Chain A
Amino acid sequence: AQKITQTQPGMFVQEKEAVTLDCTYDTSDPSYGLFWYKQPSSGEMIFLIYQGSYDQQNATEGRYSLNFQKARKSANLVISASQLGDSAMYFCAMRAGGGSYIPTFGRGTSLIVHP
């Protein structure tokens, strides 16, 4: 079985500063994918970044980067230069290998960016 753990229910960050949202995972499958999604108050789920288990380098997408530490089974999201519009819920998710489409979601972290 797969499990995603997000231990930070809420985080605060000052505008323009960087913030790290934690995510640890557990799976026995050697092939898996890790995702981060953003959910603003409107409710839509916005895909941010993806990391494959065999990817050698950490994924980056603009201001988002994923700090992938395979041995520790962690996949933390780093948001650089925070903006007020980054205030939202952030969900870490994992898809196990074997052709499974179904992701497992963490509980989420609520991020508030202060001006």
Chain B
Amino acid sequence: GAVVSQHPSWVICKSGTSVKIECRSLDFQATTMFWYRQFPKQSLMLMATSNEGSKATYEQGVEKDKFLINHASLTLSTLTVTSAHPEDSSFYICSAPGTGVTYEQYFGPGTRLTVT
């Protein structure tokens, strides 16, 4: 149980276009999901907290208008990179907290975005 999926697993897009990444909890409900960005050989950087039924909470320095987050249902959160530029190329990972005592994070497999 506790599986999180992400789609697509990789995407190449042209500069100036928008890309949507989906994060789904397959066998549990997630009122909260997290979106991370990871550069090669670096740690995960929390971008925002996605909340079902309300606005996302963005970390300092993350552009809200560029990285649009929508938590449409208890099992789906989406991240849209708008007007993508090459510097947005990165590995994007979502996660959802478990409901057990540890609050372990269940991670999606990640999406590798390349902007040309």
Contact = CB atoms under 8 A, between A and B. Distances in A.
Interface of A: 33, 35, 37, 42-45, 47, 50, 52, 89, 91, 93, 95, 101-103, 105-108, 110
Interface stretch (B19-27, B37-45, B80-88): B37-45
Contact of A50 (B34, B91, B97, B104): B104
B93 A45 contact: yes
Contacts of B97: 101
A25 to B, nearest CB: 14
Interface residues of B, dominant DSSP: strand
The interface centre, meaning the residue of A52, A91, A95, A102 with most chain B CB atoms within 10 A of its CB, is A102
Interface residues of B, number: 23
Contacts of B15: none
Given A35-B102, A91-B44, A102-B49, 6 more contacts: A33-B102, A35-B104, A43-B109, A44-B110, A101-B32, A101-B34
Interface string B95-116: 1010001111111011010000
